[in-house]
Amino acid sequence: MALLQINPAQHHIPTEVYVDFLGTTIQVHWNYHAYLMVFVWFVLVPLCILVIRFGKPKPTEKGLYPKVSIWNACWWWFSVHKYGLIVAISLALAGAVVAVAVSGGLSGTLHSFFGLMTVALGCLQIMGGWLRGKHGGKNYYTAKPDDPATWFGDHYNMTKRRRIFEAYHKTAGYFVYFFASGAVTTGLMQYPVPGLGAFIVAMVLLAFAVAIVLEYKGYRYDGYRAAHGWTMDAPFNKEREFL
């Protein structure tokens, strides 16, 4: 459990760092690191999650047939979730790399443990997204009405690959937030930033309230039916016919 113990020799938080290639000493402002990480994990990421959960359109008979693309407005909710999380994780990774570099390595504190686990799991979420497989669909833009072979897609047919992706992606998200909360809490204990704790609480309560309202109003539509329509000829709809 040495990783969870504070190393007295490294517990000191550096306030400046000498940059060799610039030949100068730069002041370290750790409050910027705190602001960045709080923005990523308590503003940007929750927004991306709320959008994918409540931004899907109401299912229609044929679903969404245009290509899954940032350029097609009907997929805006997916694009915000995908590219928003890529930006968020990239910012968090950059912030972590700079912090480690400035500190001269891993500090061995609880904050470094939680922080690295958060960023690592976040990166795995992005990498996992690349493995979600083909979209497919009977009414998708690549499909031919009289050729079922052109309808195939990991999402449309809910292949084993797609099921594994969804099971991991959705479950891992909860664990990312567990570590993110731990990272922020231990970070503020190590380096208090006035007002930041209250801001975090406000963001959590706001996200909580928004989710309750949108859930109450019935905006959480099934993702498969939103994409492929509500008819029972779609494989996963037929599989869940009595649900």
Do 155 and 227 contact (CB within 8 A), yes or no? yes
Confidence label for 2 from pLDDT (cuts 50, 70 and 90): very low
| Cα–Cα distance measured from residue 147 to residue 137, given in angstroms and rounded to the nearest whole number | 12
Phi, psi torsion values for 10, nearest 5 degrees: -115, 5
| Secondary structure (DSSP) of 78-125 | HHHHHHHHHHHHHHHHHHHHHHHHHHTS---SHHHHHHHHHHHHHHHH
Do 102 and 15 contact (CB within 8 A), yes or no? no
Cα–Cα nearest to 100, from 14, 39, 183: 14
Confidence label for 43 from pLDDT (cuts 50, 70 and 90): very high
pLDDT value of residue 120? 94
Phi, psi torsion values for 81, nearest 5 degrees: -65, -50
pLDDT digit string (tens) for 234-243? 999 999 887 6
% of the chain surpassing 90 pLDDT = 67
pLDDT digit string (tens) for 110-134? 888 999 999 999 999 998 888 899 9
* Cβ count near 226 (within 10 Å): 20
pLDDT above 60 for 11: no
Residue 6 neighbours by CB under 8 Å, 6+ apart = 107, 108, 109, 110
When pLDDT is averaged across residues 67-75 and rounded to a whole number, the result is 96
When pLDDT is averaged across residues 195-224 and rounded to a whole number, the result is 96
| Residue recorded with tokens 């992706």 | 165
Cα–Cα nearest to 239, from 218, 220, 225, 226: 225
pLDDT value of residue 99? 84
Poorest-pLDDT segment among 14-18, 66-70, 131-135: 14-18
| Cα–Cα distance measured from residue 205 to residue 230, given in angstroms and rounded to the nearest whole number | 34
pLDDT above 50 for 7: no
Confidence label for 24 from pLDDT (cuts 50, 70 and 90): low
Report DSSP state, residue 44: I
pLDDT digit string (tens) for 142-158? 999 899 999 999 999 99
Q: Where are the domains of the chain?
A: 34-239
Poorest-pLDDT segment among 16-30, 63-77, 167-181, 226-240: 16-30
| Cα–Cα distance measured from residue 219 to residue 62, given in angstroms and rounded to the nearest whole number | 19
Using a 10 angstrom Cβ sphere, with 0-12 exposed, 13-18 middle and 19 or more buried, the burial of residue 53 is middle
pLDDT digit string (tens) for 95-113? 998 888 777 767 778 888 9
CATH of 34-239, one of 1.10.1060, 3.90.550, 3.30.450, 1.20.120: 1.20.120
* Cβ count near 162 (within 10 Å): 21
Cα–Cα nearest to 115, from 130, 101, 97: 97
pLDDT above 90 for 17: no
pLDDT digit string (tens) for 169-199? 999 989 998 999 999 999 888 888 899 999 9
